[in-house]
Amino acid sequence: MSGRSLWRRPEFWLATAVLTRHTIGALNLRSTLKFAAVARPADGDGAPTIPIHVVIPVLREQPHIRPALEWFVPLLDQFSGSTLTIVSTGREQREREHIIRLLTGCHVQSITPVRFPQLCNAELHDLVDAAAKTQSGVLTEAAAREVLQRFPLTAHVVEEELDRLLRPAHVRHVQFDGNGRKAAQVNHAAASLGSDAVGYIAVYDVDSRPGESLMRRTLAFIAERASADGQLPAVVQQSARFTTAGTGPSWADRALCRGAARVQTLWTLRREVPSFRRFAWATRRVTGVPLLDAAMRGLAQTVGHGLLVRCDVFARLGGLPTYTVLDDLPFGYRLTVEGIPVDCVPGLAVADAPEDVRDLIAQGRRWFQNYLDYPRCAARARADAVGTTAEHAAMLTVAAYRGLAWLAAGPATAACLVLAAGRFRPPVRVLAAAALWLGTVTPVRMLAGAEGRHLTVRQEASESIEVLAAYLLRSTGPIAAVADRITRGDAALSPKTNRRNTTVPPSEEDSRDHRD
């Protein structure tokens, strides 16, 4: 094979493309770690007083209410004017009635977590027991209803816990009775604060654990941006690193999920944070040429936890988008087309990651629906006469690239393994091996160094292999999401499932984030 023919070979360009992406990723990782390590003048005492109105939407979260209140109530005591709103939903009761109908007539062997992911292990156990006690082994409607009614709805648990805490003045519980999902719950809670609310609406999940240090760093960063811009920043994103508690059902589950949590952290550091930084820079340097400005901005990819939106901006935008099931990326699309900066806090929160492979795949399947909804975001923005055709084209191009990169992550990694180990020309093998090294070993070393951990050769190899395995699995959920959308349309949007084998993640103080 001549040198010229090598340039025509698809394996050469595949290895080159993967190597290029991981090289850019390594450079971005180094830049992000440097950005997060910069100390802020008011990281500790002296952070400005800006009300933070934490909103936590809950649905089938009974076991998580008490830990969440025990975390957030004393935390917000430290910040004058801040509030906590737990917003439950009437959808929970309606879904319970639907599940009862599905359970009616089920044989004991078909009452499984796979078929009924919305139910917790205790509910499934009692339902199986009730079915087993019948002569036919089939669950009746009355038995299913009697079992599920033993378990209080999340709204009832919230009320009981607030009574136990003697109803703190800065904590509220509101109920949303509409048909919407998380975004509609958040919007309802924000509206209940009143039109005169000032400060920020801060959206968190029930298992989020932002610590006092991160909150003070966030307020210091907000003050820094306000000093530079002459006004409080419109939107502030707290990015997160992901961790597991090692509670998976098998060794393989634990290893794969550890690797996946590290890969998701790497995505945050190599893609999410650099994207926010570029976006914030570009939105403050508008040229007036729509296509050029759109190309410079890219596409803000907001995350629906650790998201702080200034109250007046939240009201002006009409809250989070409710025309899609997932609100994270659609909200980022709206911010992008409006040219509203999203500023990323130079510090990381901690978020829990799935503990078993089934939940990991289900999470990817659910998250990828965001990418499939980008055309709908563009259509809604055009219907609202927001943005130009060129701007929408630029944003959809970025969205398509990101979606394809996620879809191709697993196959591309597998292809590089084959190219590196197979009977191919030395340049191709070297390129593929270099791509694998930059995608697995290099980031493991950089993360360990940022965390102050000294890895032995065995630990480094183990963590790198876990990351490699996670990359091989990474595209499974997105591929399933695409198949669902093709075969079932919008009905494929994943319902919220019950958290299994999870524990509350530590605060960033306990885990020492990358800025320490």
Element (H, E) at 313: helix 311-317
Contacts of 415 (CB under 8 A, 6+ apart): 11, 14, 18, 432
- Transcribe 419-451 into DSSP letters: HHHSS--HHHHHHHHHHHIIIIIHHHHHHHHHT
Please report whether residue 118 resides in a domain: no
Please report whether residue 152 resides in a domain: no
pLDDT score of 39: 52
Please report whether residue 64 resides in a domain: no
Please report whether residue 339 resides in a domain: yes
Provide the domain limits for residue 205: 3-50+199-511
Contacts of 329 (CB under 8 A, 6+ apart): 301, 302, 370, 371, 373, 374, 377, 399
Rounded CA-CA distance 511/451 in Å is: 9
SS (H, E, C) 346-363: CCCEEEECCCCHHHHHHH
The structural domain count of the chain equals 1
* HSE value, Cβ hemisphere, 13 Å, CA-based, for 151: 21
φ/ψ bin of 266: left (φ > 0), alpha (ψ from -120 to 50), beta (otherwise): alpha
Rounded CA-CA distance 6/9 in Å is: 5
pLDDT score of 105: 94
Please report whether residue 7 resides in a domain: yes
Closest CA to 60 of 127, 129, 146, 157: 157
Beta strands in 138-282 (DSSP E): 171-176, 200-203, 235-237, 240-243
Q: Which residue has the tokens 């963590």?
A: 463
pLDDT score of 348: 84
Rounded CA-CA distance 318/63 in Å is: 32
Please report whether residue 250 resides in a domain: yes
Please report whether residue 488 resides in a domain: yes
Contacts of 98 (CB under 8 A, 6+ apart): none
How far is CA 20 from each of CA 26, 27, 384, rounded to the nearest angstrom? 10, 11, 38
pLDDT score of 30: 95
Rounded CA-CA distance 150/228 in Å is: 56
Residues of the chain with pLDDT under 70: 1-4, 38-48, 490-516
pLDDT score of 42: 47
pLDDT score of 497: 54
Closest CA to 259 of 237, 274, 244: 244
Asked if residues 240 and 349 have their Cβ atoms less than 8 Å apart, the reply is yes
Please report whether residue 387 resides in a domain: yes
Q: Is the dihedral of CA 293, 295, 296, 302 positive or negative?
A: positive
pLDDT score of 289: 85
Q: What is the CA radius of gyration of the chain?
A: 24
Rounded CA-CA distance 68/161 in Å is: 10
